[in-house]
Amino acid sequence: MRIGIVNDSVMAREALRRVVASGDGLQVAWTARDGAEGVEQVKADAPDLVLMDLFMPKMDGVESTRRIMKEAPCPILVVTATVSGQIDKVYQAMGHGALDAVDTPVLGACGGCAGGADLLRKIQTIGKLIGKYQPRCPSPSPPPGPPPSARTREPMLALGASTGGPFAVAEILKGLPADWDACTVIVQHVDAFFVVGLAGWLSEHSGRRVQLAADGDRPERGKVLLAATSDHMRLDEDGRLRYSAEPKAACYRPSVDVFFRSVAQNWPGPGAAALLTGMGRDGADGLLALRRRGWTTVAQDEATSVVWGMPRAAIELGAAEAVAPLDEIADALARGIRGGAQARAVR
């Protein structure tokens, strides 16, 4: 993998150089001293991944991420001095398309880099997602389970998202009707380290309380639940949310496909689901399973997606009943929930 480094600190750039050089199959493509230079470097010589600092002169990492994803899309990993201390900035960058975030490694007295192993793990995970580190992830097999029972459940809204997803999810939650009382469950590709901060960020930006789903929780009317770990979340036949490391081969974690398929098996409906901005194709097969059960299914359109990978895969598969820009998705989902009892299954 060829990696670009955008950081105004000489010491940080050297630490990042050493970490990258220590990884199998990794090399530094170039370095940039501020966000503006980073944008120009990406446009001139696109790397496989950019390591992006947040606080820099001329142009910060949030704006640089926005510009790169608009003008020359490229995978971006935020690498900043303290992720936990800058969580709002981190989610702003993720809203524009950054995939993940990690603390900047620190050069040690003996030439080592504290925190280097964490950075390497993040790089390797992203490499798997973009097919540069090892073969692309297989689509997870559908979980075993009985067909849906005839017993009616409460209406459910299911959202799946990846790159650029936090902003998209917040906009949808904010756009739902004031009296919204359906069960709402969200699966967002995100490191477990950030998920508590993500729940708070979504709550603040959407005006709705977003809670982390605990193992054994049941989706309930009016409650908004967010997948809380890097393990996959499933809905079991008793209507409870469960976490599992399987399938381990699925590098999209938590997997939208795993969740959507389990809902198709174990939640007869009515319901509506949306597959939002994101890299790859996770969620496309699961969205199709939901459509075949009579759910309203929506894919985000290309113009408003930070990365039009997951929604495009769903559209190509015939999984999306509707394709809509971000500002129209909440209305489409609300209409689908209200008319769920009359939804017609795809044969």
What's the pLDDT score for residue 76? Answer: 95
**Could you tell me which residue, 176 or 91, shows the higher pLDDT?**
176
Torsion sign (Cα): 300, 301, 305, 307: positive
Q: Where are the alpha helices (H) located in the chain, listed in sequence order?
A: 10-22, 35-44, 61-71, 87-95, 116-129, 165-175, 192-206, 256-266, 284-292, 310-317, 326-338
Per-residue confidence band for 338, with pLDDT thresholds at 50, 70 and 90 = confident
- How does pLDDT run across 123-136, given as a tens digit for each residue? 988 887 777 755 44
Is 144 within a domain? no
DSSP annotation of 179: T
Say if residue 63 is in the same domain as residue 187.
Answer: no
201 vs 195: CA distance, rounded Å: 10
In a domain, 134, yes or no: no
Say if 22 falls within a structural domain.
yes
Residue 228: per-residue pLDDT: 95
Give a three-class secondary structure readout of 204-221.
HHHCCCEEECCCCCCCCC
Q: Tens digit of pLDDT for each residue in 236-288?
A: 999 999 999 998 888 788 999 999 999 999 997 789 999 999 988 999 999 99
Strand bridging mode 322-324 / 210-212: unpaired
CATH number, domain at 207? Answer: 3.40.50.180
Q: Exactly one of 64, 162, 206, 262 is catalytic; which is it?
A: 162
Please indicate whether residue 282 is annotated as part of the active site: yes
Q: What is the mean pLDDT of residues 206-226?
A: 96
Active-site choice (96, 189, 205, 232) = 189
In a domain, 151, yes or no: no
103 and 206 part of one domain: no
Identify whether residues 183 and 111 lie together within a single domain. Answer: no
Active site (annotated) includes residue 203: no
The answer to whether position 337 is within a domain reads yes
Instruction: Check whether residue 67 and residue 189 sit in a common domain.
Output: no
Q: Are residue 113 and residue 167 in the same domain, yes or no? A: no
One domain for residues 161 and 234: yes
Helix (H, G, I), strand (E, B) or coil at 222: coil
Q: What integer pLDDT is reported at residue 137 of this predicted model?
A: 56
Confidence at residue 145, expressed as pLDDT on a 0 to 100 scale: 45
Query: According to the model, what pLDDT value does residue 139 have?
Result: 53
Task: Flag whether 117 is in a domain.
Answer: yes
Cβ–Cβ under 8 Å, residues 218 and 240: yes
State yes or no: cis peptide before 311, omega within 30 of 0: no
Domain that holds residue 120: 2-129
Domains in the chain: how many in total? 2
Residue 95 confidence class, pLDDT cut points 50, 70, 90: confident
| pLDDT one-digit tens code per residue, 278-313 | 988 999 999 999 999 999 999 999 999 988 999 999
Same domain, 118 and 167: no
Is position 146 within any domain?
A: no
Res 324: pLDDT:
98
Q: How far apart are CA 189 and CA 196, in angstroms?
A: 13
187 and 291 co-located in one domain: yes
pLDDT > 50? residue 346: no
User: Is 301 an active-site residue?
Assistant: no
Q: How confident is the model at residue 149 (pLDDT cuts 50, 70, 90)?
A: very low
Q: What is the mean pLDDT of the chain?
A: 89
Q: Of 34, 257, 282, 285, which residue is the catalytic one?
A: 282
Instruction: Name which of 251, 237, 17 is nearest 140 in CA terms.
Output: 251
Residues 6+ apart with CB under 8 A from 316: 284
